Amino acid sequence: MIVSDGVSALVRAAADAVRSSVGERAGDVVEDALHRTLEHTITIEDDGTAFVITGDIPAMWMRDSTTQMLPYLRLVQAAGPSATAPLATGARELADVLVAVARRQFASIAHDPYANAFNRGPTGAHYDDRDLCDDPTVWEQKYEVDSLAYPVQFAAAVHRASGRTDHLGPEAHAVARTIVDQLRLETDHERSPYRFVRDVPEPTETLVRDGRGTPVAVTGMTWCGFRPSDDACTYGYNVPENLHAAAALGDLATLAADVWSDDALAADATALREGILRGVSEHGVVPHPRDPDARIYAYEVDGLGGVVLMDDANTPSLLSLPLDAPDVLDPSVAAATRAFALGPDNPYWFSGAVAAGIGSPHTEPHRVWPIALAVEGLTGTPSRRLELLDVLLGTDAGTGRMHESFDVDDPSAFSRPWFSWADAMFCELAFAAVADAGASITSAPSVAEVTT
């Protein structure tokens, strides 16, 4: 994407607000990250859609492309209708990009609602050729519920921030129906046509039972094959994914009623949302492993007694639920869950000489993720946000970029040299610190909050 003078002015204004509130280096990292994503990850196509790569992988994930765009959503919202040129021009141009991304997401879901990542065209590129799926447009067909939930929330957020509806036309309306129908079908996964088999030895890269996954009971929750990390679920009901889906269904019901005048779709989305929430309440809230009087959200359950207690750095996570699904949480359960996730009871919480935070079974042990540190700050106190900004600036191995993960004792040992999602989350955290300081560049609400 070619960055115009107006967009550059808007990015510079945001970075200067960070410099004033947080410090010069934080502002420099924000400015570089915002320009890098615009200039090197986004391709505006002839059909008016926008294809967004992750940074170091030439494919578009539904989750990543949403979270990569969140800082620009803040800038569009922050500029507002009273902004003067060139900021107003930049905000309109960024809104054009956001609409183009949302349109591409809906087109991708229409092509294959079970896929998590897509090629720019039918190139035949795949993460791994040893899959059942041989669609040349699909990079990977790992079914992750957030691949449906994030685009719905993003489309609603763009509508709220900009007033635009040109990404919510007939195709988006049809895709919304597809999403509701698929989430409902997967409440009884044994009826599903979806299978994922990859002929590899790693258990996280394939599903057992000939691609069906481990058995689950019918609970009201919707089944998920893979976690937001792209690792296979141990049990088919990922609780953060289900709560995230419930929040997205609320947005979908609002769009159905207010934009598409489709009362039947709104009612179906609402009923499905209520069933998912009942399922989480009955099966996904479990005793704390060391305090049976405290109740926490499990990470995964099967409705048959199987429970996974952990949290993962990728979002939606237990830690990110106040951002991704704030209106569906039980406050006391959420508070106890946060304490569980941010301590040694979580097997993927690591502490070392330079950092402490949440990592992932997707990466090596003793590595924390900048995404999780940013989420911890965004869901924490203003003072903790500033502390974590300092941690992130001190653990970039001198690169000026946020990585996928780094060793808690040696940040020069890191994975993924360019991870645009992590860059975006640093920007989100910095924008929140600006808001804490009372500056007006952005209020940095969550993607879910923009839609309310």
Mean pLDDT (10-residue bins), the chain, 452 residues: 87 94 97 97 97 96 98 87 67 95 98 98 95 96 98 97 95 98 98 97 96 98 98 98 98 98 98 98 96 94 98 98 97 97 98 98 97 98 98 97 98 96 98 89 42 38
Return d(Cα 62, Cα 155) in angstroms, integer.
Answer: 12
Backbone angles phi, psi at 237, to 5 degrees: -105, 95
- Contacts of 49 by beta carbon, 8 Å cutoff, 6+ apart: 100, 101, 103, 104, 107
Question: What pLDDT score does 442 carry?
Answer: 40
Return d(Cα 217, Cα 385) in angstroms, integer.
Answer: 41
pTM, two decimals, is 0.95
The candidate with the shortest Cα–Cα distance to 276, out of 218, 210, 361, 334, is 218
Q: Is the peptide bond before 316 cis (omega within 30 degrees of 0)?
A: yes
Return d(Cα 381, Cα 366) in angstroms, integer.
Answer: 25
Contact between residue 132 and residue 211 where contact means Cβ atoms under 8 Å apart: yes
Beta-bridge partners for 226:
232
Q: Which tokens sit at 237?
A: 């009901």
| Amino acid in the structure at residue 115 | A
Question: What pLDDT score does 426 carry?
Answer: 98
Return d(Cα 289, Cα 305) in angstroms, integer.
Answer: 15
Q: How far are the Cα atoms of 27, 35, 66, 429 from residue 448, in angstroms, in the given order?
A: 26, 25, 12, 16
Question: What pLDDT score does 206 carry?
Answer: 97
Helix/strand number for the chain, H first, E second? 15, 15
Return d(Cα 222, Cα 194) in angstroms, integer.
Answer: 13
Return d(Cα 355, Cα 344) in angstroms, integer.
Answer: 14
Q: Which tokens sit at 87?
A: 């900021």
Question: What pLDDT score does 366 carry?
Answer: 97
Q: What's the distance, CA 422 to chain centroid?
A: 11
53: region left, alpha or beta (phi > 0 left; psi from -120 to 50 alpha): beta
Question: What pLDDT score does 2 carry?
Answer: 76
Q: How far are the Cα atoms of 120, 207, 211, 239 from residue 289, in angstroms, in the given order?
A: 45, 28, 31, 17
Contact between residue 118 and residue 98 where contact means Cβ atoms under 8 Å apart: no
Question: What pLDDT score does 421 carry?
Answer: 98
Q: Is the peptide bond before 86 cis (omega within 30 degrees of 0)?
A: yes
Contact between residue 244 and residue 146 where contact means Cβ atoms under 8 Å apart: yes
Backbone angles phi, psi at 168, to 5 degrees: -120, 40
DSSP assignment of 223-280, as one string?
A: --SB-TTSPBPSSSEEHHHHHHHHHHHHHHHHHHHHTS--HHHHHHHHHHHHHHHHHI
Question: What pLDDT score does 450 carry?
Answer: 40
